[in-house]
Amino acid sequence: MDAQFVPKRTVLLVDDSKELLDVLEIILRRYGYNVIAKDSPANVPDLVRQVKIDLLLLDVRLKNVSGRFICKELKANPHTSYFPIILMSSSPNYAVNYEECGAVDFIEKPFDLVELVAKINKHMRASLINRV
């Protein structure tokens, strides 16, 4: 019986809370994901053009820029529009119309970790199906 190699999927985390990034990185690695964590939105578009990202978990409220703006920018570029983006915020007001910027989902902070991982898994599976 041949064992088939299944590459790990990569999640990019962008949030200006270093503590939250550290916790999310530990949790997502335990679920088998590769994780790239950035505590600044600087150079995110350049990064996703250089590294294959499978999903972006993006805070809406970042220093000096809106996560919605970054989401729109990534979705408008054919080289960076291929992966799902989940927005997150401590303000439930940002859940309204999150799709307008191209995000596939929204999660409110503080979030239930089971719900967060379920949403990540759901959108990872959907993106695999859409690529085939």
Q: For the chain, which domains are there?
A: 10-131 (3.40.50.2300)
Do the strands 55-59 and 10-14 form a parallel or antiparallel pair, or are they unpaired?
parallel
Q: What is the pLDDT of residue 57?
A: 97
The per-residue pLDDT for range 46-70, each reduced to its tens digit, is 899 899 999 999 999 998 899 999 9
* Degrees, nearest 5: CA angle 61-14-18: 90
For residue 132, pLDDT over 50 is answered with no
Mean pLDDT of 13-23: 95
Angle between helices 18-30 and 113-131 (to 10 degrees): 60
Q: Please state, in angstroms and rounded to a whole number, the distance separating the CA atoms of residues 116 and 118.
A: 5
Whole-structure pTM value: 0.89
